[in-house]
């Protein structure tokens, strides 16, 4: 069998040779689990990756999309929890915060701080949906759409904070 293999592989155009493809007996999920249990068991060191790779705008925007998503979701959950737990009504607490506030700049800043992650996640979300239908994958397009998202985010947040 080896000799036959040797005979064939010496003539192949590429390095790898598949006479016949045989599907493996395990599922991809099982293979993944096997990898991770072995990986954790051996406690393998991790090569430096995000600590050494040069950051790019698309990279930063991608993790910011995730970051704003997690932050917004946590905020909504915290709000929902507060609604269940706190005894008084929403207008009561709103007036309470308003009476404690440190001036109009504080209010404008809080509006900006709330609007910014919502705006960013929304606009970048639309950018993601464009990718999902297959549009805008060329590298210059990625950067261009990214800058548009950043610009729209800043403008929208300032606009909403000024209302």
Partner 1 sequence: MAALVRLSSVCHRGVSPLLFRTSSLIRPLAIQKKDHDCPYLISAKIHATPSNYTGSGSKAASLHWTGERILSIVLLGMAPMAYYFPGPAVDYSLAAALTLHGHWGLGQVLTDYVHGDFKIKMANAGLFILSTVTFAGLCYFNYHDVGICKAVALLWSK
Member of 34, 38, 98, 135 binding partner 1 (CB under 8 A): 98
**C-alpha 146 chain-centroid distance:** 14
Member of 107, 150, 154, 158 binding partner 1 (CB under 8 A): 107
Hey, which residues between 46 and 65 contact partner 1 (CB under 8 A)? none
Using CB under 8 A as the binding rule, whether residue 20 contacts partner 1 is answered as yes
Using CB under 8 A as the binding rule, whether residue 109 contacts partner 1 is answered as no
Phi, psi of 157, rounded to the nearest 5 degrees: -65, -45
When the beta carbons of 1 and 140 are compared against partner 1, the nearer one is 1
Member of 56, 57, 77, 155 binding partner 1 (CB under 8 A): 77
Find the shortest distance in angstroms from Cβ 99 to partner 1: 11
Q: Is the dihedral of CA 140, 144, 146, 147 positive or negative?
A: positive
Alpha-carbon span 18 to 9, nearest angstrom: 9
Alpha-carbon span 158 to 52, nearest angstrom: 35
For tokens 């689990």, what's the residue? Answer: 33
- 48 HSE (CA, 13 A, CB side): 4
Q: For residue 109, give both structure tokens.
A: 């800043």
DSSP-derived 3-state class of residue 56: coil
Member of 57, 59, 70, 148 binding partner 1 (CB under 8 A): 70
Q: Under the rule (CB under 8 A), what is the footprint of partner 1? A: 1, 4-5, 7-8, 11-14, 16-24, 28, 31, 33, 36-37, 40, 66, 69-70, 72-73, 76-77, 79-84, 89-91, 94, 98, 107, 111, 114, 122, 125-126, 129, 132, 160, 163
């Amino acid at each position: 069998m080896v000799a036959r293999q040797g005979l064939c592989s010496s003539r192949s155009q590429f390095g790898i040779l598949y006479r016949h493809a045989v599907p493996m007996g395990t599922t991809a999920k099982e293979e993944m689990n096997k990898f991770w249990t072995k990986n954790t068991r051996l406690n393998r060191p991790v090569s430096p990756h995000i600590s050494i790779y040069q950051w790019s705008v698309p990279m930063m925007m991608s993790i910011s999309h995730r970051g704003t998503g997690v932050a917004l979701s946590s905020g909504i959950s915290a709000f929902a929890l507060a609604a269940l737990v706190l005894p008084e009504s929403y207008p009561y607490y709103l007036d309470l915060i308003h009476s404690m506030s440190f001036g109009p700049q504080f209010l404008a800043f809080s509006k900006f701080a709330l609007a910014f992650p919502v705006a960013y996640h929304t606009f970048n979300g639309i950018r993601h949906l464009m990718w999902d239908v297959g549009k805008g994958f060329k590298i210059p397009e990625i950067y261009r759409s990214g800058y548009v998202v950043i610009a729209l985010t800043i403008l929208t947040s300032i606009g909403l904070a000024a209302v």
